[in-house]
Amino acid sequence: MTNDLRFPARSYDFTPYVPCNNWIGGEWTPSAAGDSLPVDNPRHGKSFGQVTMSGAADVARAVEAARAAFPGWRDTPIKERVQVLFRLKSLLERDLEELAWLVSHENGKVIGEARADVLKGIECLEYGISLQNMVAGEQLDVSRGINCSITYEPLGVCAGIVPFNFPVMVPLWMLPQALVSGNTFILKPSEVVPYGAMKLADLLREAGLPAGVFNTVNGGQAAVEAIADHPDIKAVGFVGSTRVARAVYSRSAAAGKRALCLGGAKNHLLVVPDADLELTSTTVVASAYGCAGQRCMAASLMIAVGDVDPIIDAIVAHARKLRLGEDMGPVIHGGAVERISNYIADAERRGAKVLLDGRGAKGPGGVGHWVGPTILDHVKPDMPAGCEEIFGPVLSIVRARTVDEALAIENASAYGNAASIFTQSGAVARYCVERFEAGMCGVNIGVPVPREPFSFGGWNQSLFGAGDLTGWDGLRFWTRARKLTTRWQLSKDATWMS
Ligand code: NAD
């Protein structure tokens, strides 16, 4: 199977897919050991596909293919490299519906959210395409007849390891900058949602990318560790939970490669009494329950400063109206249902008030992995629901008397992905933004994801490494700077030998 991979689904109905193998050197191949895992549709709770599970031998094969393809791709002028990505953009647009349904089937997102996953991926791709006009390099005559310049050179074989929550967008946080700058690439998709990457590989083939420039290796921990250890992989980009981000960062660095590892989050929204009731309540609900709370930028902890009870009442009213299966999808698997339900039960035991309880919720047909929108009030910052990442549709509310008290709670978080302030006062907004311990801040914004060309990345335990993963920082991460000093023109006072 090498041509025109088509995924037939165009509705939420259950549809079986072809097995998902590795894409190595322009061929679909099962792992050397022949192991595989079922892939489940979270909405139905049934397996609809199969993913091959790889180990060190498969990673070694992919590295061999990527190494062989590197000289040809490196020597292809950037203006020709971007033509492949221009064609990829057209193909992603052509197949937008197919990709969106595919993402919905493997991840559970409702179709609008799944389309957004692909569209945001396309936006990241557009940034990569524009780099052809931005990476001309820098040069200066630093003294008579002497010129210094910097050019951004590819590293060689690079790798990306991605999570389950955005099967198309997160790979496209890495691929454009890495490929445009002349690297070859190995992607390790999440074994829970491997089909988005399978389709991407097929579209890159159709776009004319030479075999071996982009490869996929499916699997879990064994494949990731083999990538971190492999001496011929020069850089690793990782997106996932903090526990794994920290481990991949240390292991890759120990093997002498550069790594940038984005981890988990606990995002804080501060709501003060002058916040606009309608804007705040609808925005907080969209942030907390979009993608069933499975976004690293989701609102998970709201700090209610002073009396904001009318806003909390409106949040509960809006959240109660969300229709499972239409406005909000399932969570990724049965293990997630259990983990999220345990957090809710634990918070209740410790004295939190459950204003809205999503435990035991049923989706369409009574099948699949569901938790309904949940709101916990009077959570304490040191309860697990107050400081740990739940990664589900649960909004924890902590009460604070002052903005400074709220900021102290936000600042004490181990994470630092996002923080937002909801207020109509410019002074309060500025005071908070200047003090947040978070890489991505918002004012009256529930999901403060910077759009391209602004780069994406958190602080503290939400990111290990230097710089951000997207935007200009992405180019810097996937390249090394060559500094050149030249003297071609002899100045009048120079001798032949000088
Ligand atoms: P995860 O950490 O479980 O998995 C991420 C990747 O690591 C997957 O490819 C997986 O196969 C691999 N992996 C899992 N366990 C491993 C192990 N022990 N050793 C080596 N590799 C391992 O994350 P997930 O559940 O797929 O995704 C959800 C997490 O990702 C959340 O914590 C979320 O906040 C985070 N996330 C962060 C960002 C960000 O930009 N900071 C973006 C999206 C998701």
Peptide bond into 171 cis (omega under 30): no
Residue 206 phi, psi (nearest 5): -65, -30
Half-sphere exposure of 344 (CA within 13 A, CB side): 24
Segment 16-29 shows an average pLDDT of 97
Residue 223 — pLDDT band, cuts 50, 70, 90?
very high
| Residue 494: per-residue pLDDT | 60
Please determine, for residue 491, whether its predicted confidence score (pLDDT) is greater than 70: no
The residue-averaged pLDDT of 416-435 equals 98
User: Residue 98's CB: how many other CB atoms inside 10 A?
Assistant: 18
Burial (Cβ within 10 Å: 0-12, 13-18, ≥19) of residue 271: buried
Distance 9 CA to ligand 1 centre (A): 27
Q: What is the pTM of this model?
A: 0.96
Report the 10 Å Cβ neighbour count for 459.
Answer: 16
pLDDT of residue 229: 98
Ligand 1 pocket, 423 CB below 6 A?
no
- CATH among 3.40.605.10, 3.40.50.2300, 1.10.1200.10, 3.50.50.60 for 22-263+462-482: 3.40.605.10
- Average pLDDT score over residue span 453-462: 97
Least confident of 24-38, 384-398, 476-490: 476-490
Q: Do domains 22-263+462-482 and 267-443 have the same CATH topology?
A: no
Q: How confident is the model at residue 134 (pLDDT cuts 50, 70, 90)?
A: confident
Check residue 267 and give its pLDDT.
98
Our mutation pick for probing the ligand 1 site, out of 165, 262, 391, counting the most ligand atoms within 8 A of Cβ, is 165
| For residue 416, pLDDT beyond 70 | yes
Rg (CA), the chain: 24
- The number of the ligand 1 atom at minimal distance from the alpha carbon of 265 is 34
Mean pLDDT of 107-127: 98
Q: Return the pLDDT at 497.
A: 54
| DSSP 8-state class, residue 275 | S
Closest atom of ligand 1 to 189 CA is: 9
pLDDT band for position 496 (cuts 50, 70, 90): low
Please give the positions annotated as active site: 296
Q: What percent of the chain clears pLDDT 90, i.e. is strictly above it?
A: 93
User: Average model confidence (pLDDT) for the chain?
Assistant: 96
Our answer on whether the CB atom of 462 is closer than 6 Å to any ligand 1 atom is yes
Q: Which of 403, 417, 421, 331 is nearest to 374 (CA)?
A: 331
Q: What is the mean pLDDT of residues 376-385?
A: 98
Compute the average pLDDT of residues 319-330. 98
> Strands across the sheet with 138-143, in order?
138-143, 146-154, 479-487
CA neighbor of 242 nearest in space, from 373, 375, 387: 387
pLDDT tens by residue, 177-206:
999 999 999 999 999 999 999 999 999 999
Nearest CA to ligand 1 atom 17: 221
pLDDT in tens, 144-177: 888 999 999 999 999 999 999 999 999 999 999 9
Instruction: Calculate mean pLDDT across residues 110-123.
Output: 98
The model's confidence at residue 1, banded by pLDDT at 50, 70 and 90, is: very low
Q: Is 485 in the pocket of ligand 1 (CB under 6 A)?
A: no
Check pLDDT > 80 for residue 360: yes
Q: Are 272 and 421 in contact (CB under 8 A)?
A: yes
- To test the pocket of ligand 1, the residue of 164, 193, 447 to mutate (highest count of ligand atoms within 8 Å of its CB) is 164
Identify the architecture of domain 267-443 in CATH: 3-Layer(aba) Sandwich (3.40)
Domain ranges for the chain? 22-263+462-482, 267-443
